[in-house]
Amino acid sequence: MAYKFPLALFADPSVISGHAQQLADLLNIPLISDPRGYQVFFNLTPNHLELIAHEENNKKPSSLRVDFTTPGNLRRVKNPHKELLIQAIKIRKKIPATVVDATGGLGRDAFLLAAAGCKVDVFEQNHFIGALLADGLKRAALAPQTARVCNRITLHIQNTVEHIGELCPPPEVVYLDPMFPERDKSAKVKQNLRILRYIEGDQGEDRELFAAVWAIKPRKIVVKRPLKSAPLCEIRPTYTLKGKAVRFDVYIPASFTKDSTPCLNSKC
Ligand SMILES: C[S@@+](CC[C@H](N)C(=O)[O-])C[C@H]1O[C@@H](n2cnc3c(N)ncnc32)[C@H](O)[C@@H]1O
């Protein structure tokens, strides 16, 4: 993948050096003893992994880490059944037992799905984002208020297109949120999205992703879209649930006849 900035891992001296080197090797970036001169770098402390970015207009560096124990996240997942995403994944008004979050990102939605009671397999193709998410999940598994939810989540730092077919049995529902729309106006979320752009890399083809998901024949595919954008790959959903800033397009593959099943291979 192509990244816009040279990245490195700086480890607090109190971190066991073998652990830091292992992570640097996994991320394929150098382990450095002095972060000066790096505009963007990972900082590993005994407590967490974070991404630090020195940005032109900010005196203070910005930082990004995954923390499921914040009051904001705990509030969001306290009553998951009110959330539109949870309404969208229900099958005959029931929460499905198994869901794949095929575009994991920083895991906000995966955590909500798990809080609603689903067993969630999360795929994230970008190993930098995957490392931040793995770190957040590891800490959440140790915190009493998030441990139970966290135990329902399995992270795969892999490309969904290549690996979703290996899940046995296949999930009942697959959830897709392939883009980073500016969906939340809060300063913190905006800052997180901005910093993420430093490590985002190439996104891959929506069509390929949609085709791989369709191929495993889930009972439902739910796609998050910005409110006014076209449906993913221009394929009309079975129905849509609209919120204030986003909508969820719901596809029920069994409701498509042989003639109306979308052709998703690259030649169509
Ligand atoms: C908009 S973010 C998802 C945000 C997520 N819903 C959340 O709550 O944090 C999209 C993510 O999907 C990942 N992604 C895109 N295509 C993928 C693929 N084929 N396999 C795995 N991950 C993919 C991107 O790397 C990116 O991190």
Tally the C-alpha atoms within 13 A of residue 9's C-alpha that lie toward its C-beta.
25
- For the beta sheet containing 31-32, the strands, ordered from the edge strand earlier in sequence to the opposite edge, are 31-32, 9-11, 40-44, 49-53, 62-64
Pocket test for ligand 1, best of 121, 125, 225 (most atoms within 8 A of CB): 125
Closest atom of ligand 1 to 201 CA is: 25
Say what the pLDDT of residue 198 is. Answer: 86
Tell whether ligand 1 has an atom less than 6 A from the beta carbon of residue 181. Answer: no
The CATH number of whichever domain residue 171 belongs to comes to 3.40.50.150
> Is residue 266 assigned to a domain?
no
> Is residue 16 assigned to a domain?
no
Indicate whether 38 pLDDT > 80: yes
Pocket test for ligand 1, best of 124, 132, 232 (most atoms within 8 A of CB): 124
> Is residue 31 assigned to a domain?
no
Closest atom of ligand 1 to 101 CA is: 6
Lowest mean pLDDT among 13-17, 67-71, 97-101: 13-17
Tell whether ligand 1 has an atom less than 6 A from the beta carbon of residue 249. Answer: no
Say what the pLDDT of residue 265 is. Answer: 72
Average pLDDT value for the chain: 91
Query: Separation of 179 CA from ligand 1 center, angstroms?
Result: 7
pLDDT band at 180 (very low <50, low <70, confident <90, very high): low
Closest atom of ligand 1 to 209 CA is: 19
Q: How many domains are contained in the chain? A: 1
Q: What element of type H or E holds 90?
A: none
Lowest mean pLDDT among 165-169, 189-193, 227-231: 189-193
> Is residue 154 assigned to a domain?
yes
Say what the pLDDT of residue 1 is. Answer: 55
pLDDT tens per residue, range 105-161: 999 999 999 999 999 999 999 999 999 999 999 999 999 999 999 999 999 999 999
Closest atom of ligand 1 to 108 CA is: 8
Closest by Cα among 11, 85, 21 to 250: 85
pLDDT tens per residue, range 70-84: 999 999 999 999 999
> Is residue 38 assigned to a domain?
no
Say what the pLDDT of residue 184 is. Answer: 52
Query: What b/e sequence results for 25-45 when a residue is b if at least 16 CB atoms lie within 10 Å of its CB, and e otherwise?
Result: eebebebbeebeebbbbbbbe
Query: Separation of 105 CA from ligand 1 center, angstroms?
Result: 4
Query: Separation of 101 CA from ligand 1 center, angstroms?
Result: 9
> Is residue 10 assigned to a domain?
no
Tell whether ligand 1 has an atom less than 6 A from the beta carbon of residue 107. Answer: yes
pLDDT band at 268 (very low <50, low <70, confident <90, very high): low
> Is residue 251 assigned to a domain?
yes
Say what the pLDDT of residue 189 is. Answer: 63
Closest by Cα among 111, 205, 108 to 159: 205
Query: Separation of 125 CA from ligand 1 center, angstroms?
Result: 7
> Is residue 42 assigned to a domain?
no
Domain coverage including residue 226 = 71-184+201-255
